[in-house]
């Protein structure tokens, strides 16, 4: 078959065009080669300006080029520079890897100066990573290397050893090492020293070392028993501005912490020795300011480093992909050169190869575009996660700080009225913290599982009053009036309610209303909407006079995390409360809605159909007349939990408790003494509650065993059933529910079981 002339012409034109492209690509590559030589001043400039990502990208390109062209000296320098950047980003594990790579190459090249800087980099990395075992092993090797070439890094490593004992609070060694460092510094002529880096002024370098050594020596003297006064004298002799310059090369948060310590000891001097309150307060304020800066800088640096590391890893992946493409391009170019010697069929085959090649390149481009879009989404998700956990950190720290402070005030206060006030606030903070933690733990679980309700007879008025008792201190602290408006119900009427789940709904809504109300009141209304012989429909309203919600935000109010779009300007809340409420109401076959007017207030409302519980007055009277001495064994490795459980048991008339701290001892006691009931903790070292219960069932199959645990899932229930445990009590628990479960498993269970329904194994 003959090919048409037009096709032959097209093939020939394509051939010469491709040949021209190949020749041009080789020419371009030769011009580009010069770009990939290590530009040390540019890298140092980028690091000084905190452009770590750009510096890392430049070094990765240099490393790739150096490997390709066997430029070992440049490769070692690039590894070392990359190790310094990773150390600055607190990525110490990878920094160590690159320093070791650099050290290996420097050693193969016989470069003493290179080995000196690599050893010094490892010393700094292990110090910052607080890896003192490796620090102590590498430090003497680094010092021998620095001393052999009379390098200034000898004093930098010595400064690292001083800081090692400073960070580890080894004050005697800190004093001895800093004193030795000062003696070595005074006996060294810096004009004859070998310089490994770039410094503006050698004398200023020596002065920075002196200030660092002097500062740490003064701190050590203050902390040692007999040198305190002299240490203060040396501390006051240091100029704070000079000290700032000396710490300039360190991480900002570390420098701020040391400057805070510097001013704190001045505060101690004026507060404890000189007794000058004005001066003491001045230095205490300066110290707190530096410490606050250190905290802010640390948090900012961590957030920034997280993004940087993610970005750098992504860039490395892209560079690897680019290298593969370059290799493929090189292979294709060789094929094209070989094709120039062939004619006819070989040329046609080459064109077919290029067809598939460009098709593959197109696919790679498409994949790269999709990867970039995916990476952008992941970065946004990671940013939202960091923001959420920052908010969550604040939310958790606030009540924890309040609990700690209030506990101290209760311990110190003698006035009973004030003690009671502090106790009320302490209970409020504890309740809020419990609600917040419960929200966090339930948020993910409720997303996938429908809440299984555990309904028991309860009076609705009592539940609402308990909720009021939980949140009233929070309202009082903000000066907000807390109101309730409950229709009159028969006190003897009991509704089947999951008290924990329903209380969580009201508590979240009440706390939410208090949070966003600056002045005025919050009111909980309960109204009867419909009644039959077996059911009762109630309407619940939580009204506030707070900031209100704009109509444009209605669609995201009940969405976890998304509702921060309107919350963040008004509060640092976690954004989980309303999501939990809506999810729990689904389990009640109900839904929630709200009406709101900005700067006037908001009303959240919902309706629930409750089953009316049958009366059990006769059974309760029979049970109240039943009395017997009961002996209970409590097993828990936590002494605080043991105390709480024991005290709660002894509140029940006729009950006596003995305690034991591990499963093996519990088994021994049960074999030697008759008990009526066992309360068993699940999570214990050596032998957990499941294993201990299995052993007990081997020789005592009848004694009731109740498990105490903070865990709550279907898997826990199955494991407990297999171990022979009768029932699980989830911590924290309500005392009345705890009492009812204990009585239910006593010898009076036949009487008591008829009046209270519990979920048993």
Dihedrals phi, psi of 225, to nearest 5 degrees: -60, -40
Residue 631: pLDDT over 70: yes
Nearest to 692 by CA among 710, 700, 742: 700
Residue 706: pLDDT over 70: yes
Residue 295: pLDDT over 50: yes
pLDDT in tens, 139-190: 999 999 999 999 989 999 999 999 999 989 898 999 999 999 999 998 998 8
List the beta bridge partners of residue 594. 604
Q: What is the mean pLDDT of residues 507-514?
A: 90
Cα–Cα distances in angstroms (integers) from residue 562 to residues 415, 505, 597, in the given order: 46, 20, 21
Beta-carbon neighbour count of residue 172 at 10 Å?
11
Residue with tokens 């710490």: 247
Q: Which string of b and e fits 342-354 if b means at least 16 CB within 10 Å?
A: eeeeebeebeeeb
DSSP string, 7-28: HHHHHHHHHHHHHHHHHHHHHH
Which of the two residues, 435 and 683, has the higher pLDDT score?
A: 683
Q: What is the mean pLDDT of residues 541-566?
A: 79
pLDDT category at 757 given cuts 50, 70, 90 is very low
Look up residue 705 and give its two tokens. 């065993």
Say how far residue 404 (Cα) sits from the centre of its chain: 21
SS3 per residue for 688-702: CHHHHHHHHHHHCCC
Residue 446: pLDDT over 80: no
pLDDT category at 199 given cuts 50, 70, 90 is low
Number of C-alpha atoms within 13 angstroms, CB side, residue 578? 23
Look up residue 231 and give its two tokens. 């240490």
Contact by Cβ (8 Å): 640, 661:
no
Say how far residue 630 (Cα) sits from the centre of its chain: 46
Residue 565: pLDDT over 70: no
Residue 245: pLDDT over 80: no
Mode of pairing for the β-strands spanning 655-660 and 521-531: unpaired
* Max mean pLDDT range (119-128, 197-206, 251-260): 119-128
Which of the two residues, 748 and 703, has the higher pLDDT score?
A: 703
Q: List strands edge to edge, sheet with 592-597.
A: 481-486, 521-531, 535-544, 601-611, 592-597
Q: What is the model's pLDDT at position 250?
A: 64
* Whole-angstrom distance, CA of residue 498 vs CA of residue 183: 74
Q: What is the model's pLDDT at position 680?
A: 93
Residue 506: pLDDT over 80: yes
pLDDT category at 749 given cuts 50, 70, 90 is very low
- Any idea which of 322-331, 338-347, 703-712, 718-727 has the lowest mean pLDDT? 322-331
- Any idea which of 8-17, 152-161, 502-511 has the lowest mean pLDDT? 8-17
- Any idea which of 383-392, 477-486, 571-580, 593-602 has the lowest mean pLDDT? 383-392
pLDDT in tens, 246-270: 776 666 567 788 888 888 888 888 8
| Ordered domains of the chain (ranges, CATH) | 37-149 (1.25.40.10), 438-611 (3.30.565.10), 620-752 (3.40.50.2300)
Q: What is the mean pLDDT of residues 201-215?
A: 84
Which of the two residues, 325 and 425, has the higher pLDDT score?
A: 425
pLDDT category at 478 given cuts 50, 70, 90 is confident
Nearest to 94 by CA among 62, 129, 50: 129
Dihedrals phi, psi of 378, to nearest 5 degrees: -65, -40
pLDDT category at 360 given cuts 50, 70, 90 is confident
Q: What is the mean pLDDT of the chain?
A: 79
Show contacts of 239-243: CB within 8 Å, 24+ apart.
242/207, 242/211, 243/211, 243/215
Contact by Cβ (8 Å): 141, 99:
no
pLDDT in tens, 54-79: 778 888 888 888 888 889 989 998 89
* Max mean pLDDT range (108-112, 613-617, 735-739): 108-112
Beta-carbon neighbour count of residue 273 at 10 Å?
11
Maximum CA pair distance of the chain? 115
List the beta bridge partners of residue 543. 523, 603
Residue 625: pLDDT over 60: no
* 331 SS3 class: helix
DSSP assignment letter at 523: E
* Whole-angstrom distance, CA of residue 64 vs CA of residue 320: 9
DSSP assignment letter at 706: E
pLDDT category at 380 given cuts 50, 70, 90 is low
* Whole-angstrom distance, CA of residue 3 vs CA of residue 1: 7
* 219 SS3 class: helix
Check whether the bond before 732 is cis (ω within 30° of 0): yes
Which of the two residues, 606 and 210, has the higher pLDDT score?
A: 606
Residue 472: pLDDT over 90: no
Residue 669: pLDDT over 60: yes
pLDDT category at 756 given cuts 50, 70, 90 is very low
Residue 481: pLDDT over 60: yes
Q: What is the mean pLDDT of residues 484-496?
A: 82
Q: What is the model's pLDDT at position 560?
A: 65
- Any idea which of 7-11, 475-479, 659-663 has the lowest mean pLDDT? 7-11
Phi-psi region of 75 (alpha: psi -120 to 50; beta: other; left: phi over 0): alpha
Q: What is the mean pLDDT of residues 667-689?
A: 92
* 554 SS3 class: helix
Nearest to 23 by CA among 347, 343, 333: 333
Nearest to 637 by CA among 695, 671, 682, 582: 682
Residue with tokens 């992946």: 317
């Amino acid at each position: 078959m003959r090919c048409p002339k037009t096709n032959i012409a097209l093939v020939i034109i394509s051939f010469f065009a491709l040949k021209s492209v190949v020749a041009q690509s080789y020419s371009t590559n030769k011009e580009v080669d010069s770009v990939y030589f290590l530009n040390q001043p540019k890298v140092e400039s980028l690091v000084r300006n905190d452009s770590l990502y750009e510096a890392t990208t430049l070094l990765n390109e240099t490393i790739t080029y150096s490997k390709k062209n066997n430029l070992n000296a440049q490769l070692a320098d690039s590894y070392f520079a990359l190790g310094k950047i990773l150390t600055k980003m607190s990525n110490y594990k990878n920094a160590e890897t690159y320093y070791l790579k650099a050290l290996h190459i420097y050693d193969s090249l016989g470069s003493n100066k290179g080995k000196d800087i690599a050893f010094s980099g490892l010393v700094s990395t292990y110090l910052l990573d607080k890896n003192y075992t490796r620090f102590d092993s590498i430090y003497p090797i680094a010092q021998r290397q620095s001393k052999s070439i009379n390098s200034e890094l000898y004093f930098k490593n010595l400064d690292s050893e001083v800081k090692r004992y400073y960070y580890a609070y080894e004050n005697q060694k800190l004093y001895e090492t800093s004193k030795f460092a000062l003696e070595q510094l005074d006996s060294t002529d810096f004009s004859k020293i070998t310089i490994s880096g770039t410094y503006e002024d050698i004398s200023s370098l020596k002065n920075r070392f002196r200030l660092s050594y002097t500062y740490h020596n003064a701190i050590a003297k203050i902390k040692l028993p007999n040198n305190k006064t002299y240490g203060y004298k040396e501390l006051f002799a240091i100029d704070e501005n000079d000290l700032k310059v000396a710490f300039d090369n360190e991480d900002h948060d570390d420098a701020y912490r040391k400057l805070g310590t510097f001013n704190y000891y001045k505060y101690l001097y004026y507060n404890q020795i000189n007794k000058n309150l004005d001066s003491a307060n001045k230095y205490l304020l300066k110290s707190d300011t530096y410490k606050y800066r250190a905290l802010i800088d640390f948090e900012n640096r961590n957030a920034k480093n997280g993004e940087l590391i993610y970005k750098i890893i992504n860039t490395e992946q892209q560079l690897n992909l680019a290298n593969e493409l370059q290799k493929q391009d090189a292979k294709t170019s060789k094929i094209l050169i070989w094709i120039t010697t062939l004619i006819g069929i070989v040329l046609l085959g080459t064109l077919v190869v290029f067809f598939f090649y460009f098709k593959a390149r197109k696919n790679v481009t498409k994949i790269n575009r999709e990867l970039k879009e995916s990476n952008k989404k992941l970065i946004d998700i990671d940013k939202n996660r960091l923001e959420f956990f920052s908010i969550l950190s604040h939310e958790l720290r606030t009540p924890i700080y309040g609990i700690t402070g209030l506990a101290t005030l209760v311990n110190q206060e003698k006035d009973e009225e004030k003690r009671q006030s502090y106790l009320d606030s302490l209970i409020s903070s504890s309740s809020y913290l419990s609600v917040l933690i419960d929200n966090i733990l339930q948020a993910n679980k409720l997303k996938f599982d429908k809440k299984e309700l555990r309904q028991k007879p309860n009076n609705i008025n009592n539940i609402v009053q308990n909720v009021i008792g939980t949140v009233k201190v929070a309202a009082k602290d903000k000066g907000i009036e807390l109101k309730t408006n409950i229709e009159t119900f028969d006190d003897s009427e009991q509704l089947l309610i999951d008290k924990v789940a329903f209380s969580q709904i009201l508590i979240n809504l009440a706390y939410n209303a208090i949070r966003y109300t600056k002045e005025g009141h919050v009111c909980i209304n309960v109204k009867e909407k419909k009644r039959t012989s077996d059911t009762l429909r109630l309407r619940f309203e939580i009204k506030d006079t707070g900031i209100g919600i704009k109509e444009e935000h209605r669609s995201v109010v009940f969405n976890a995390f998304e509702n921060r779009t309107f919350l963040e300007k008004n509060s640092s809340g976690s954004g989980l409360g309303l999501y939990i409420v809506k999810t729990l109401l689904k389990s009640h076959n109900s839904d929630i809605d709200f009406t709101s007017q900005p700067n006037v207030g908001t009303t959240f409302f919902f309706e629930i159909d409750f089953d009316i519980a049958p009366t059990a007055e006769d059974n309760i009277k029979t049970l109240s007349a039943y009395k017997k001495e009961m002996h209970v064994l409590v097993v828990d490795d936590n002494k605080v939990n043991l105390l709480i459980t024991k005290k709660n048991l002894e509140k029940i008339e006729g009950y006596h408790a003995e305690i034991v701290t591990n499963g093996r001892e519990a088994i021994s006691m049960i074999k030697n003494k008759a008990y009526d009931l066992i309360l068993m903790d699940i999570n214990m070292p050596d032998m957990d509650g499941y294993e201990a219960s299995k052993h007990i069932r081997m020789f005592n199959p009848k004694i009731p065993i109740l498990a105490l645990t903070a865990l709550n899932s279907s898997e826990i229930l199955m494991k407990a059933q297999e171990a022979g445990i009768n029932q699980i009590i989830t911590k924290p628990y309500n005392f009345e529910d705890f009492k009812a479960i204990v009585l239910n498993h006593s010898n009076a269970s036949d009487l008591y079981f008829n009046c209270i329904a519990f979920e048993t194994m």
